[in-house]
């Protein structure tokens, strides 16, 4: 069988390079193009990741040895509050929205988002939110933790205006995020290429799409809680204290907060679902299951929220219902992991940097998922709640999971975004430092938690083992930090010195790889016919397209002969 090389197949459809305006300050301030907004979101996320990362390192320095006095107790509280809020709302969320903005229109063959100006507005609201959070430094930063439990968040316990800045910051970024989500929903609903049914959308776009619905339904709970909090604080209302109910805050917060953890993982799953097949040279195993289980998760993510509240003292049936739903949500999650592993099975695997991050993701995310399910066993939760076991769990899913997926996506899409390849040697060195550093920081924290070390303490007594394990954790944090710094250097240096990438350096199959790198302003001059979720495969193999194959065959874990050829 002869195969058309991907470059030749893509050639006639390639739009010519257009003349670009100079990219100065006013350009970035006024641009409404989805790719620019995507890059702005990624830049915003990276900036705040750096800030949140430095905060983390300072906290780890304080915790390196027992009885340390680098930070005062109150300052430590401010640090973990800023760190948690920054990482979740200003680092991870913007980076995920950055990928969604950049990729969804390209993957579905659209010229831009449905509402480009709204898109820019959403981004700038988020940026303003970030600024607002850090303006709180002028007034005394918030210190009640990222979930801001009542009554700690109320006036008598948090007198400083910083807490109001915190609430305003979350309202601003939350509104920006919601607008972007609405934009993604409309774009993916209305602007898909002819022939691309919903069930043929590339998996990243699928998950960004479903994710946007979760955002639209989850953020109102947070916004309502924040507004009620401000009524309490500014107008002497009593929703959450002074006769109101502190537990009511927890209901509102976690009705947002648990879906939020899925909001932070769905696009990450989307990235992994793009990367694993390309570097296994096989279509994803069970596309329908990967996509369908996402829908189940979207619904269930609201039904599990009170598993964050087992220590509140609910009636037994309530506890049991939330324990059961939590165990249930592990099923669609497990389906995804199974599908990724089955895609790897008998694949022709290429250990590129994006693939290394994706493989580490599968291991670390699964590990974090398992400790997560362990909380659904009530006696375990009561034992370890508010200990370092929880800190370890949340970082395994958020960092070992989401952040590793982001790094995978960054290495995978950098050639598309810039036209240059990242340095492979530097990428691999950084990868190993990040993996070693990350597991060094957080693996030992499970043990510390089980030994009884509480979270959110600025220092601890010199009990047997505590000092040594904390020291390992701190050393790990610096190795991790160094790895991330190397990654940053790679990103900057390769922009000029990297090898020219070409349109489709990884021989991938979705539409974004058809256009030039970086893509021109309106993405495509014309599109190929779309019949399956891998239009480029179909284009390159007119005699053997996906849609003419019996489905059974793809799911059987076979690798097609041509796919092997491409690999060599």
**Minimum CB distance to ligand HEM smaller for 257 or for 505:** 257
145 binds, among Cu ion, ligand HEM, none (CB under 5 to 8 A by kind): ligand HEM
Rounded to a whole number of angstroms, the minimum distance from the CB of residue 304 to ligand HEM is 18
Question: Of all residues in this chain, which one has the CB nearest to Cu ion in the complex?
Answer: 258
**Minimum CB distance to ligand HEM smaller for 121 or for 404:** 404
Per-residue CA distances from 275 to 128, 327, 509 (Å): 33, 28, 11
Rounded to a whole number of angstroms, the minimum distance from the CB of residue 298 to Cu ion is 14
Query: Do 331 and 299 form a contact (C-beta atoms < 8 A)?
Result: no
**Minimum CB distance to ligand HEM smaller for 300 or for 392:** 392
C-alpha 114, offset from chain centre: 23
Rounded to a whole number of angstroms, the minimum distance from the CB of residue 52 to ligand HEM is 7
CB contact set of 411 (below 8 Å; sequence gap of 6+) = 352, 353, 354, 357, 422, 427
Rounded to a whole number of angstroms, the minimum distance from the CB of residue 144 to ligand HEM is 8
Q: How many residues bind Cu ion (CB under 5 A)?
A: 1
Residue 547, helix vs strand vs coil: helix
DSSP string across 498-524: SPB--S-TT---SGGGTS-SSPPTTS-
92 binds, among Cu ion, ligand HEM, none (CB under 5 to 8 A by kind): ligand HEM
**Minimum CB distance to Cu ion smaller for 258 or for 416:** 258
Rounded to a whole number of angstroms, the minimum distance from the CB of residue 82 to Cu ion is 22
547 binds, among ligand HEM, Cu ion, none (CB under 5 to 8 A by kind): none
How far apart CA 209 and CA 428 sit, in angstroms, is 32
- Structure tokens that stand for 536 in this block: 């480029």
356 binds, among ligand HEM, Cu ion, none (CB under 5 to 8 A by kind): none
Rounded to a whole number of angstroms, the minimum distance from the CB of residue 303 to Cu ion is 11
Rounded to a whole number of angstroms, the minimum distance from the CB of residue 449 to ligand HEM is 10
Q: Where are the alpha helices (DSSP H) in 304-403?
A: 316-344, 353-374, 378-384, 388-395
258 binds, among ligand HEM, Cu ion, none (CB under 5 to 8 A by kind): Cu ion
User: Does 258 participate in binding Cu ion (rule CB under 5 A)?
Assistant: yes
How far apart CA 73 and CA 471 sit, in angstroms, is 19
Burial letters for 521-544: b for 16+ Cβ neighbours within 10 Å, e otherwise?
Answer: eebbeebbebbbbbbbbbbbbeee
395 binds, among Cu ion, ligand HEM, none (CB under 5 to 8 A by kind): ligand HEM
How far apart CA 287 and CA 336 sit, in angstroms, is 10
User: Does 393 participate in binding Cu ion (rule CB under 5 A)?
Assistant: no
Footprint on this chain of ligand HEM (rule: CB under 6 A): 53, 56, 59-60, 80-81, 83-84, 87-88, 92, 145-146, 391, 394-395, 398-399, 403, 441, 455-456, 477, 480
Rounded to a whole number of angstroms, the minimum distance from the CB of residue 301 to Cu ion is 8
83 binds, among ligand HEM, Cu ion, none (CB under 5 to 8 A by kind): ligand HEM
**Minimum CB distance to ligand HEM smaller for 361 or for 506:** 361
How far apart CA 24 and CA 51 sit, in angstroms, is 25
Q: Where are the alpha helices (DSSP H) in 452-550?
A: 466-497, 535-540
Q: Which is nearest to 401 in space by CA: 444, 441, 358?
A: 358
Rounded to a whole number of angstroms, the minimum distance from the CB of residue 537 to ligand HEM is 34
**Minimum CB distance to Cu ion smaller for 356 or for 390:** 390
How far apart CA 422 and CA 494 sit, in angstroms, is 5
**Minimum CB distance to ligand HEM smaller for 50 or for 224:** 50
Rounded to a whole number of angstroms, the minimum distance from the CB of residue 322 to Cu ion is 10
Question: Of all residues in this chain, which one has the CB nearest to ligand HEM in the complex?
Answer: 84
**Minimum CB distance to ligand HEM smaller for 309 or for 398:** 398
- Structure tokens that stand for 93 in this block: 């969320």
The H or E element spanning position 438 is helix 424-451
**Minimum CB distance to ligand HEM smaller for 399 or for 433:** 399
Q: Where are the alpha helices (DSSP H) in 202-312?
A: 203-235, 246-280, 287-303
Each residue 305-324 as x (binds Cu ion by CB under 5 A) or -, in order, gives: --------------------
Q: Please, which residues bridge with residue 454 across strands? A: 387
- CB atoms near residue 165 (< 10 Å): 22
**Minimum CB distance to ligand HEM smaller for 144 or for 196:** 144
Query: Do 317 and 364 form a contact (C-beta atoms < 8 A)?
Result: no
Which residues make up the interface to Cu ion (CB under 5 A)? 258
């Amino acid at each position: 069988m002869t195969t058309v090389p991907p470059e030749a197949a893509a050639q006639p459809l390639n739009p010519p390079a257009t003349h670009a305006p100079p990219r100065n300050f006013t350009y970035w301030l006024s641009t409404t193009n989805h790719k620019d907004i995507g890059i702005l979101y990624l830049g915003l996320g990276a900036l705040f990741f750096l800030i949140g990362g430095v905060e983390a390192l300072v906290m780890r320095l304080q915790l390196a040895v027992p009885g340390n006095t680098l930070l005062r107790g109150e300052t430590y509280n401010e640090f973990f509050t800023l760190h948690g809020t920054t990482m979740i709302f200003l680092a991870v969320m913007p980076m995920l929205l950055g990928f969604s903005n950049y990729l969804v229109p390209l993957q579905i063959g659209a010229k831009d988002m449905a509402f480009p100006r709204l898109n820019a507005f959403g981004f700038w609201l988020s940026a303003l939110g970030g600024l607002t959070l850090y303006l709180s430094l002028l007034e005394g930063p918030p210190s009640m933790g990222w979930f801001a439990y009542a009554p700690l968040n109320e006036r008598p316990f948090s007198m400083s205006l910083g807490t109001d800045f915190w609430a305003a910051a979350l309202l601003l970024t939350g509104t920006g995020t919601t607008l972007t989500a609405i934009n993604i929903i409309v774009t993916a609903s209305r602007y898909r290429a002819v022939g691309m049914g919903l069930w043929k959308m590339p998996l990243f776009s699928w998950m960004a799409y479903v994710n946007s619905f979760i955002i639209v339904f989850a953020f109102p709970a947070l916004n309502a809680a924040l507004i009620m909090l401000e009524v309490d604080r500014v107008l002497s209302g009593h929703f959450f204290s002074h006769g109101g109910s502190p537990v009511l805050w927890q209901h509102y917060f976690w009705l947002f907060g648990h879906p939020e953890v899925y909001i932070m993982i769905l696009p990450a799953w989307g990235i992994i679902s793009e990367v694993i097949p390309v570097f296994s040279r096989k279509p994803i195993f069970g596309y329908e299951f990967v996509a369908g289980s996402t829908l189940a998760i979207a619904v269930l993510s609201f039904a599990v929220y009170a598993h964050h509240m087992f220590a509140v003292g609910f009636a037994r049936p309530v506890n049991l219902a939330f324990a059961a739903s939590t165990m249930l949500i592990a099923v669609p999650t497990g389906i995804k992991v199974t599908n990724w592993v089955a895609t790897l099975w008998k694949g022709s695997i290429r250990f590129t940097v994006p693939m290394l991050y994706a493989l580490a993701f599968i291991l670390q995310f699964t590990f974090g998922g398992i400790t997560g399910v362990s909380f659904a066993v009530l006696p375990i939760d009561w034992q370890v709640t508010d200990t370092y076991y929880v800190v370890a769990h949340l970082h395994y899913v958020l960092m070992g999971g989401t952040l590793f997926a982001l790094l995978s996506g960054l290495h995978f899409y950098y050639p598309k975004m810039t036209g240059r390849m990242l340095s492979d040697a530097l990428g691999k060195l950084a990868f190993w430092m990040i993996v070693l550093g990350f597991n060094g920081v957080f693996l030992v924290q499970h043990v510390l938690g089980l030994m009884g070390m509480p979270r959110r303490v600025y220092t601890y007594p010199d009990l047997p083992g505590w000092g040594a394990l904390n020291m390992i954790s701190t050393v790990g944090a610096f190795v991790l930090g160094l790895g991330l710094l190397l990654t940053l250097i790679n990103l900057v240096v390769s922009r000029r010195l990297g090898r020219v990438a070409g349109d489709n350096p990884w021989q991938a199959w979705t539409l974004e790889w058809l256009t030039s790198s970086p893509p021109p302003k309106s993405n495509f001059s014309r599109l190929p016919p779309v019949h399956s979720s891998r239009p480029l495969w179909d284009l390159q193999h007119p005699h053997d397209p996906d849609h003419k194959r019996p489905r059974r065959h793809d799911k059987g874990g076979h690798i097609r002969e041509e796919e092997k050829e491409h690999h060599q």
